[in-house]
Amino acid sequence: MPNPWDRSPQPDKGELSAEDIFVSVGRALSAWENLEAALGDFFAFIVGAGFGLTDPALRAYGSVSSFANRATMLEEAAAAYFHDNPNSHFKERFRQVITVECRGFSGRRNQIAHGRVQGAFNKSGGIGMYLMPSLYATKNAPAFPGKHHAPVSTPVVRHSIRCN
* Among the listed residues 5, 12, 70, 1, the one whose alpha carbon sits nearest the alpha carbon of residue 41: 70
Neighbours of 58 (CB within 10 A): 19
Domain boundaries, the chain: 18-163
User: What is the pTM for the complete model shown?
Assistant: 0.78
Give the torsion through C-alpha atoms of 65, 41, 158, 137, to 10 deg.
10
DSSP 57-121: HHHHHHH---HHHHHHHHHHHHHHHHHHS--HHHHHHHHIIIIIIIHHHHHHHHHHHT-EEEEEE
Which of the listed ranges 113-117, 119-123, 156-160 does the model predict with the highest average pLDDT? 113-117
pLDDT tops 50 at residue 148:
no
- Per-residue pLDDT of 29-83, as tens digits, reads 999 999 999 999 899 999 988 877 788 888 889 899 999 999 999 999 999 999 9
Count H helices, E strands: the chain? 6, 2
- How much is the average pLDDT of 119-139? 83
